[in-house]
Chain A
Amino acid sequence: MTLDRNDVESIAHLARIAIDEADIPDYARDLSNILDLVDEMAREDTADVLPLAHPLDAVQRLRPDIVTEEDRRALFQAGAPAVENGLYLVPKVIE
């Protein structure tokens, strides 16, 4: 699988990662090489194989519906990039 400039740009947009214009060819090459490595899987016939999402055959454990957390806003916001009146600030969101 070979990715071109447009592919890299659209994936980078989906992943919200800015990539320098000059680095795009390197990314395109490296990602294409990685996908070539990955494409080796194609030689294995897996038509009748069930996908395995998790190494263990375990079942989700359930937590009792109890409030165990208390307010630790001051601690959590101590290292936040921008906070005002207890709110995290981001550039204006337009819907």
Chain B
Amino acid sequence: MTAHLEIRGLRISGPAGEVVRPLDLELRPAETVALIGESGSGKTLTAKSLIGLLPAGFRAEGTFRSGDQVVALDQPDAAWRPLRGRRVSLLLQDPFTSLSPVHRCGEQIGWTIDAIQGRLPRRERSRRIAERLDEVRLPARAAHAYPHELSGGMRQRVAIAAALASDPSLLIADEPTTALDASNQAEILDLLRALQDARAMSLLLISHDLGLVRGRSERVLVMCRGEVVERGTTAEVLSDPQHPYTRALIAADPALGAPGPARPVAAGGDREPLLAAEGIAKRFGDRPVLDDVSVQVTAGAVLGIVGESGSGKSTLARCIAGLEREDAGVVRFAGDVLSPGRRSRTPDQMQIVFQDPYSSLNPMMTIGAILREALATVGRPASEVGAILGQVGLPAEFASKRPAELSGGQRQRVAIARALAPRPRLLICDESVSALDVSVQAQVLDLLGRLRDELGLAILFISHDLAVVRRIADTVTVLWDGRVVEQGTCEQVLEAPEHEYTRLLVAAAARENTGAATRVATKGTP
């Protein structure tokens, strides 16, 4: 079969020089090619260059052939219009921001239909919108909903419907599921696959996650610092990686790599718990978010709290930390009852490391100022800034930098350093590694494990990602709809889940790594 989309000599240069080195790529109809790389590897710029949406200051070279049409990638914006959104569509990572918040979903799908068909009669137009929604398995009434009224998974479906309204021959999906929960991720990827088969559309799937791509793409390109370092069929690359970078990626992936080493630490059990939250309940207005939740952690142990977004896991953490006031229940810390709110708590009891390292550091302060302030809360001198940066594996010179100069992983290390500065006995990690690339994720997890052992920290580790939790936690609590549905040691819960929801989560995580391998086998030879 001949390639129907060909990219030749794609090269992107930015203000600081070359960011993507010359790259060739062809896609056959209905084929999925995955482009893997960490943030900063140039994968998103590659995607944007194929649709003429490079940010100002960046220039692409090379050609792009679609069917019998050849376009130069550096053509002016106007020349892109007949192609963009018609032959090629782009699906973005974040369904929370890629849809307009003030327009109904149906309207947004309608725009792409208008762009292709011209203005259709009203009834015909709504019929087509309903058709598109049906295609992504959404009910027709979703057309009348505003984006904020839909869940993340539903929003991404709307975005897919809008992207596909023009029947493109190539869909570029840039991290289409990174912002979604595990079970939603699998559904969206399966949906994309089905739509792709039905339309013989090519898919360029961009992701940082090798595990996600396994079984869902025929071929893989691995990108590192703007260069394709490895390419081949997905099975080959995953089973026999040639380039050291690919090997590092596979080893760092919590789902693909080995589970964390067994530790001799007695989890829970005989020792007095450092933190015990008993019967915590919380409502937001009429909506109960936590209902009789009890958890406990001992010093030197890690409790994983697993659940999807909306399950109440962050609210639980915030009640424990005093950032939210529980309606009922008791939080005990080292035997003392802490009343609701921050007033009863001191910085040296517990600290939180938040999810998003981009917004958890004050952008106007230097790293040094941020850490000095945290040290001062317990009377530690400013001279310890260097030492505390060293503790999280950063050089002392970082003190004079501002957050904007740091990568995501470095920022998260600074956030951990700030959390450790008051010498807390309990560290709450609220999705602390979810926003990080896999290899950085592995480093941060290792760091947390080391700190737990060296400082005897108790860690409350909150995540939606079972694979990550398995790597660090001793005991696991599964939250579902504000209630504890399963509790036990990590092995118990993951090897023999008792509750139906836990089984679903475990299965979703497992499908991610081994999953649709069978389909690759059947589709592999066109």
Is B truly associated with A? no
A binding-site residues for B, Cβ under 8 Å = none
B binding-site residues for A, Cβ under 8 Å = none
